[in-house]
Amino acid sequence: GESVGLHLPTLSVQEGDNSIINCAYSNSASDYFIWYKQESGKGPQFIIDIRSNMDKRQGQRVTVLLNKTVKHLSLQIAATQPGDSAVYFCAENINYGQNFVFGPGTRLSVLP
Amino acid sequence: EPEVTQTPSHQVTQMGQEVILRCVPISNHLYFYWYRQILGQKVEFLVSFYNNEISEKSEIFDDQFSVERPDGSNFTLKIRSTKLEDSAMYFCASSEKRSNQPQHFGDGTRLSIL
């Protein structure tokens, strides 16, 4: 069936470097995407979203890029900090549905 | 910042028993959701709820599951006869509008079935 997947299950970066977390989605009808951060023992925390009529959206230290041609979504974190260590999920919303389909997640580890 | 709150944080139950997981969504939100996350796996949608009725549910949400908004603030998930495979984190979420809006999650209830 349709699914959201991630290229890298784990990512280790040096503190201060930029991080890029990738996500591939297979449903061309998806029109809204969210990146969530999940710390240990916590629920998914909203980071940034993007609608399908946009290619790029920037937040504080984070940027989401959407490439609809290849069905690819990425999250860029600038100047990665130890507090960024967590599992990051992309989630897609299909055709104004009420649920999100989550990817399996990428664990980001920030090295001192 | 307003939060979704869930109780209890951890629930241990014997197989076959009923459990009720509780959630208080963000106060001005109108749409409510339950998701589950089996240990080490991705977050899976269970059900969405609006205007006192289920609006969408997944194949996971079978007859053993039910949801209710018993009053103006609480939103509950009941599992009638728990199975071992129901062991998971259960997350409640809420959103202000129906779609294309962020869903805000609580910190979950860890359900352990013995």
Give the 3-state DSSP-derived string for B61-100, with helices as H, strands as E and coil as C: CCCCEEEECCCCCCEEEEECCCCHHHCEEEEEEEECCCCC
Report the pLDDT value the prediction gives residue A6, as an integer from 0 to 100: 40
Interchain pair B4, A99: CB under 8 A: no
Nearest-Cα distance to chain A for B37, in Å, is 10
Is the pLDDT confidence value at A25 over 90?
Answer: no
B41, B50, B91: residue with CB nearest A43: B91
Interchain pair B48, A89: CB under 8 A: no
Is the pLDDT confidence value at A104 over 70?
Answer: yes
Residue A54 CB contacts under 8 Å (≥ 6 apart), including other chains: A66
B31, B99, B108: residue with CB nearest A43: B108
Residue A77 CB contacts under 8 Å (≥ 6 apart), including other chains: A18, A19, A20, A21, A61, A62, A84, A108
A53 and chain B in contact, CB less than 8 A: no
3-state SS, residue B40: coil
Report the pLDDT value the prediction gives residue A18, as an integer from 0 to 100: 97
Interchain pair B99, A34: CB under 8 A: no
Is the pLDDT confidence value at A80 over 70?
Answer: yes
Report the pLDDT value the prediction gives residue A27, as an integer from 0 to 100: 87
A43, A99, A105: residue with CB nearest B45: A99
Nearest residue of B to residue A104 by CA position? B42
Nearest residue of B to residue A30 by CA position? B100
Mean pLDDT of successive 10-residue stretches along chain B, which has 114 residues: 91 97 94 92 91 92 94 92 96 85 93 97
Report the pLDDT value the prediction gives residue B16, as an integer from 0 to 100: 97
Judge whether A66 and A56 are in contact, CB under 8 Å.
yes
Is the pLDDT confidence value at A87 over 50?
Answer: yes
A96, A102, A105: residue with CB nearest B99: A96
Report the pLDDT value the prediction gives residue A95, as an integer from 0 to 100: 67
Average pLDDT rounded to a whole number, residues A62-89: 96
Tokens linked to A87? 């599992």
**With pLDDT > 90 as the criterion, what percentage of chain A qualifies?**
71
Interface test with B, best of A66, A98, A100 (most B CBs within 10 A): A98
Q: How far is CA B16 from the centre of its chain?
A: 19
A27 and chain B in contact, CB less than 8 A: no
Is the pLDDT confidence value at A96 over 80?
Answer: no
Size of interface A-B (CB pairs under 8 A): 60
Interface test with A, best of B42, B48, B92 (most A CBs within 10 A): B42
Q: How far is CA A58 from the centre of its chain?
A: 13
